[in-house]
A and B are shown apart, each in its own frame.
Chain A
Amino acid sequence: MADDIAAERASLDETAIEESAADAYPLPDPLWKGDIGPGCAKVDPILIADSVRKTFGGLVAVDVEHVEIPRHAITALIGPNGAGKTTFFNLLTGFDKPDSGSWEFDGTDLAGVPAWKIARRGEVRTFQLTKAFGGLSVIDSMKLGARDQLGESFWACLIPPLWRAQERGIEERALELLKQFKLYEKRDDLALSMSGGQRKLLEMARALMSAPQLVMLDEPMAGVNPALTQSLLGHIVRLKQQGMTVVFVEHDMHMVQAIADWVVVMAEGRVVAEGKPTEVMKDPVVVDAYLGANMDRDLGEVVKEIRASYAASRPEGGSAQ
């Protein structure tokens, strides 16, 4: 346990967000064209969704008229629970089928394309509830992520000389990524022996094995301790520095402000606001739908208030149990 903490501390220092490091692909300034607002056009969009709609029975889970994701930027998708963020994620990555709508990734139409083909085109995702390969070793989980493996076709797998060289290359790349994510020492362990946080790191590292253009992270920081959150943020920023586009779902506005270039706010299935992180938080619609009236207040004060109202509701002289 103490070792874990020490390791996370060390990784925190090294992966601390490098403000000075130059981005491989400088973002256009501004990112958007025309009027800023829900569904506004971007200078260089990588993903464009048009009238995507999904209902579950009578419930309209997602009803997005138009949204564009800027290339090479970090976009945060925020919104209250039940806003349809994960459903929207599932639709864009082919894990769920919409009732109607179309969307294109990097100029090609993705509507109706199955999830595995979308991943092959360079749009990979992680899951809100981490999906680890428990019975596989960490290194094998990583190798599984690599694209275009000859040894993964049935007939070729019977003839190792065909794919041995490629396999070595994949292993090298996997080990390199594991070092980056501080999982190198764990390479031969089974994924099920890892902590929740380590699994999150592994899932992200595994997705990177395919050298994607767009990385979609569904609540990458959920259930992770502050030190590891810091290191995850560092990793996300590094993805951007390496030229990838990142979309992530997050609830903590401080995290969003720290790394996002752009924020898309969803509520009740729709995109209700868009903008730069600092500005979108001032939007009354966002404050109303998501952040709540207490957002600018000190948490201590709010707690005091709740305690006071709790005490007042008790009968006088009632003993605490």
Chain B
Amino acid sequence: MMNWNFLWVALSELITPQTAAYALAALGLAVHFGYTGLLNFGQAGFMAVGGYAFAMCAVTFNQPFWVCILAAVLGSVLLALLLGVPTLRLRADYLSIVTIGTAEIVRLVVRSPEMGTWTGGSTGINRSGASFFAMNPLPDDLSWTLGTIRYNSDAIWVRLVAWTVVVLAGLFVWQIMRSPWGRVVTGIRENEDAVRALGKNVFAYKMQVLVIGGVLAGVGAIFAIMPTSLQPDNYGTQTTFFLWAILLLGGAATVLGPIVGAMIFWALLALTDGIVAAGVSTGVLPITTLQSGQIRYMMVGLAIMLLVIFRPQGIFGRKSEVLFNG
């Protein structure tokens, strides 16, 4: 007998706090790459810094929720300044090299045993969301059922807040990009020297962009870790490339693209996982359960390749803003 529960799991992925976190981080990447043309391959590093700043503040140093939010924002701003000051005056490729390296440095430092007292080493930090869930104004016995999945009061609370933040962040990016500020930034993407020739301080704009996109990722990470835990290895290069996949799927220079892209990405991942697992358990697919875990990533890779070849502008993008035109 076939088990169809994975359909509900896939559907529930659309609104998980983790999906919201990825939507925010991908939105930040859209600000970086889609609108401004900054090649940031270390978005996972911004998520890690935001997440660790928040979790260490909350658990290690026992600070109130809002102080910890501020710590996450400041942490992301600092990382952006650290990355931007030496690289943003150079050609675009330097930023990509430095960001990919920095993200790995961040991960390796926080997971090192020497840092264990503060960061929890390779096990990470649990229960960083305690003060957030203590603020839950919803009745304790509130619950909601989606097929086979039941949400309790805290689960509803974190989803509600996470997606409200996503909507606000979307409106924020939409507003800045349709303003004259956004026009300068888009101009930088199209031709940096021409913008310079028109008297704009290109370096300052790129720095602002790097900070904004980084803060979106740093704050996003908070929603991924509060209901579960903070694990250093969740912020490796794989995360960065998931974010790129989401961005390309949705459309790089759009607001809806990264948000809907994140929803589709995680739902698809759960769906393929469910289908492959069902195939294995019914004997249709001649592979082991261990192998089936890898197959879904191959399918993601294939999907990204097909997407870039046949619909490079993504779901919501405009053909004229395709960035892979050489």
Contacts and interface: CB of A to CB of B under 8 A. Distances in A.
A143 B199 contact: no
A215 B176 CA distance: 31
Contacts of B175: 157-158, 160
A267 interface: no
Contacts of A127: 193-194, 197
A131 interface: yes
Interface string B68-88: 000000000000000000000
Contacts of B197: 93, 95, 115, 119, 124-127, 131, 207
A133, A156, A192: which has the most chain B beta carbons within 10 Å? A133
Interface in A135-173: 135-136, 140-141, 143-145, 147, 149-154, 156-158, 160, 163, 167
B193 A206 contact: no
Contacts of A307: none
Contact of A119 (B172, B186, B198, B321): B198
Given A154-B208, A158-B176, A192-B320, A116 B201 contact: yes
Contacts of A33: none
Nearest to A144: B187
A157 B198 contact: no
B194 A133 contact: yes
Given A119-B199, A133-B194, A144 B176 contact: no
B129 to A, nearest CB: 29
B321 A135 contact: yes
Contacts of B199: 116-117, 119-120, 124, 147, 210
Contacts of B196: 95, 115-116, 119
A143 B200 CA distance: 13
Interface residues of B, number: 27
B316 to A, nearest CB: 15
A116 to B, nearest CB: 5
A223 interface: no
Interface in A195-228: 203, 206-207, 209-210
Given A115-B197, A192-B320, A144 B183 contact: yes
A178 interface: no
Nearest to B198: A145
Interface string B175-192: 110011111101101110
A154 B36 CA distance: 14
Interface string B285-326: 000000000000000000000000000000000001100000
Contacts of A145: 198
A157 B186 contact: no
A163 B190 contact: no
A120 B176 CA distance: 23
A9 B284 CA distance: 72
